């Protein structure tokens, strides 16, 4: 691995230098070979599991790594915490993929940092495996996401109410810059650092902002235009992400601003879950007492989070406002006028979010239903279907899978008609002239298998048992690798049925009625 640590160049306000904690008995449990190939990790290292265990437990630093804990703030369930930061994670640095794309390599569960807030900085095996499984499942489903490179057991026992085996998971992300990263700097009035982070984010994630190719626009944007363009780009990424979550029935569980990556990828998989029975109010997170982050609220929360990012950019934008008759105004009046101008411009972008989200939302559901266009009629059709699914307590994934199959299977069509009634005929009348095309589109958007909650929990329990009961570390490693790989092989082809798919398509016996997820911290 060849590390290139550009984030460190931003300076001290952005992070704290800190080494990962040493662990007694690191053992590599899972290794993502496809991802490691993309990251150009050498064959010699890939074939040395002992060295991989040392590197990805934090015991030994790879050459060029400069571990840091990132500083950020965050709104947690709507309440602002001015100092959060990486409390159990160490960013080793950045590497370039074979496609010359920059990725962060971060250890999670690797010990205390200055941001640990009295926590031990450790991670149990099950949450580490959950992140690996869920991130790879989302990747296969076509959802923007961070990924996992490795899971290493540490040989430690950590306490989360019960004694649990410890582990470190290695996260690979386009970056770990969050809305909370901007909030941390803005809350301290450090506008120059907000500007530095903006410039860095544009260069890393949105270079098109500074590389205008449209001849009708000036060769370079003004500083004011860059701020507004950045906000709009981040909003577009968030809309794309949330709509993809909704497409597959994913519930993040904790959409705090510190869990909102500006690159538009899914990060932090603690209380995440998949929806079985459709209900827009579905919540599985044990700490989401009031349903703030319920399935159907995720689009609204993203809008709120984007408004918090806009709050951070507002003081910077104010600096670029030119006020009429500036010379005749007092300093206070000038600043108020600048703020009003900047606020009007930034609010215009924020207020465009609902219409943009609705367009993306209905376009997504149109694809799930094989509809060629979005109009008033098709929007009503989508709304009616979701209402019928909720009132009849239908499984989200299975219903759309059956709709896809029903276009060429009369028995499945009739089975759906028994539940959905006249809605089926209305839908079929719209797709009547292009059913084969419709089915092709639907098959690409409606998975046949997802990481259902009860299957994920069964896999995690089996892995924990394997680590506890195996007579040797090698046996445990082989067993866990086999259990997870078998599961991910099925989840790796979510839009195609294989011989093993049927083993993971069943719904939970209790309909996930009592299912809860936890942060794992």
C-alpha distances (whole Å) from 384 to each of 76, 217, 436, 439 are 34, 43, 24, 20
Q: H or E segment at 310?
A: helix 298-318
C-alpha distances (whole Å) from 481 to each of 47, 129, 313, 473 are 15, 11, 45, 12
Predicted pLDDT at 182: 98
Name the burial class of residue 372, with classes exposed (0-12), middle (13-18) and buried (19+) by CB atoms within 10 angstroms of its CB: middle
C-alpha distances (whole Å) from 451 to each of 130, 135, 141, 145, 270 are 10, 10, 10, 15, 15
Pick the closest to residue 173 from 138, 149, 200 (CA basis). Answer: 149
Give dist(CA 62, CA 68) in Å, integer: 14
Name the burial class of residue 336, with classes exposed (0-12), middle (13-18) and buried (19+) by CB atoms within 10 angstroms of its CB: middle
* Angle (CA) 258 22 130, round 5°: 45
Is 258 among the catalytic positions? yes
> What crossing angle do the helices spanning 125-141 and 453-469 adopt, rounded to 10°?
140
Predicted pLDDT at 471: 53
Name the burial class of residue 157, with classes exposed (0-12), middle (13-18) and buried (19+) by CB atoms within 10 angstroms of its CB: exposed
Give dist(CA 245, CA 158) in Å, integer: 32
Predicted pLDDT at 332: 83
Enumerate helices (H) and strands (E) in the chain, giving the number of each: 17, 11
- 398: phi then psi, degrees, rounded to nearest 5: -65, -40
Give dist(CA 168, CA 53) in Å, integer: 10
Each domain of the chain, given as residue ranges in start order, spans 7-176, 180-356
> What crossing angle do the helices spanning 298-318 and 191-205 adopt, rounded to 10°?
120
- Name residues of the chain where pLDDT drops below 50: none
Q: Which of 38, 104, 258, 395 is catalytic?
A: 258
Number of neighbouring beta carbons within 10 Å of residue 357: 19
> Which residues have C-beta within 8 Å of that of residue 244, sequence separation ≥ 6?
142, 143, 144, 250, 364
- pTM (2 d.p.): 0.95
Q: Considering only the C-alpha atoms of the chain, give the largest distance between any 2 of them, rounded to a whole number of Å.
A: 83
């Amino acid at each position: 691995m060849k590390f290139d640590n550009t984030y460190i160049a931003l300076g001290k306000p952005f992070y704290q230098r800190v080494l990962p904690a040493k662990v007694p008995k690191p053992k590599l449990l899972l290794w993502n070979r496809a991802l490691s190939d993309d990251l150009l990790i050498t064959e010699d290292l890939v074939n040395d599991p002992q060295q991989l265990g040392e590197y990805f437990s934090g015991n030994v630093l790879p050459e060029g790594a400069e571990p840091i804990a990132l500083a950020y703030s965050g709104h947690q369930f709507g309440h602002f915490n001015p100092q959060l930061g990486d409390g159990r994670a160490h960013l080793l640095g950045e590497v370039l993929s074979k496609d010359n794309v920059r990725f962060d390599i971060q250890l999670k569960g690797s010990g205390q940092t200055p941001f640990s807030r009295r926590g031990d900085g450790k991670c149990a095996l099950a949450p580490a495996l959950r992140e690996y499984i869920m991130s790879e499942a989302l990747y296969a489903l076509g959802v923007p996401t961070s990924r996992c490179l490795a899971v290493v057991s540490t040989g430690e026992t950590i306490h989360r109410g019960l004694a649990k085996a410890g582990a470190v998971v290695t996260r690979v992300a386009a970056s770990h810059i969050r809305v909370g990263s901007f909030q941390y700097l803005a809350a301290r009035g450090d506008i120059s650092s907000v500007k530095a982070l903006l410039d860095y984010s544009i260069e890393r994630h949105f270079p098109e902002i500074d590389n205008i190719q449209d001849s009708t626009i000036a060769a370079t944007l003004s500083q004011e235009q860059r701020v507004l363009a950045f906000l709009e780009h981040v909003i577009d990424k968030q809309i794309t992400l949330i709509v993809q979550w909704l497409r597959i029935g994913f519930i993040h569980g904790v959409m705090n601003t510190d869990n909102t990556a500006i690159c538009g990828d899914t990060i932090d998989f603690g209380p995440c879950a998949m929806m079985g029975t459709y209900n827009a109010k579905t919540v599985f997170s044990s700490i989401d007492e009031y349903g703030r982050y319920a399935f159907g609220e995720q689009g609204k929360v993203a809008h709120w989070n984007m408004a918090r990012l806009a709050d951070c950019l507002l003081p910077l934008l104010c600096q670029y406002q030119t006020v009429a008759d500036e010379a005749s105004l007092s300093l206070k009046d000038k600043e108020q006028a600048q703020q009003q101008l900047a606020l009007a411009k930034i609010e215009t972008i924020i207020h465009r979010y609902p219409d943009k989200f609705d367009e993306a939302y209905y376009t997504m559901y149109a694809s799930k239903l094989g509809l060629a266009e979005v109009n008033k009629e098709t929007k009503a059709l989508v709304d009616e279907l979701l209402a019928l699914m909720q009132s009849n307590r239908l499984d989200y994934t299975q219903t759309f899978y059956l709709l896809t199959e029903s276009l060429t299977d009369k028995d499945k069509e009739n089975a759906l008609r028994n539940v959905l009634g006249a809605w089926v005929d209305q839908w079929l009348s719209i797709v009547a002239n292009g059913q084969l095309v419709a089915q092709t589109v639907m098959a690409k958007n409606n998975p046949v298998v997802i990481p259902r909650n009860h299957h994920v929990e069964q896999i995690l329990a089996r892995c924990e048992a394997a680590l506890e009961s195996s007579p040797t570390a090698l046996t445990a490693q082989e067993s866990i690798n086999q259990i997870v790989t078998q599961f991910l092989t099925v989840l790796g082809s979510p839009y195609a049925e294989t011989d093993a798919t049927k083993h993971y398509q069943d719904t939970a016996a209790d309909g996930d009625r009592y299912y809860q997820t936890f942060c794992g911290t």
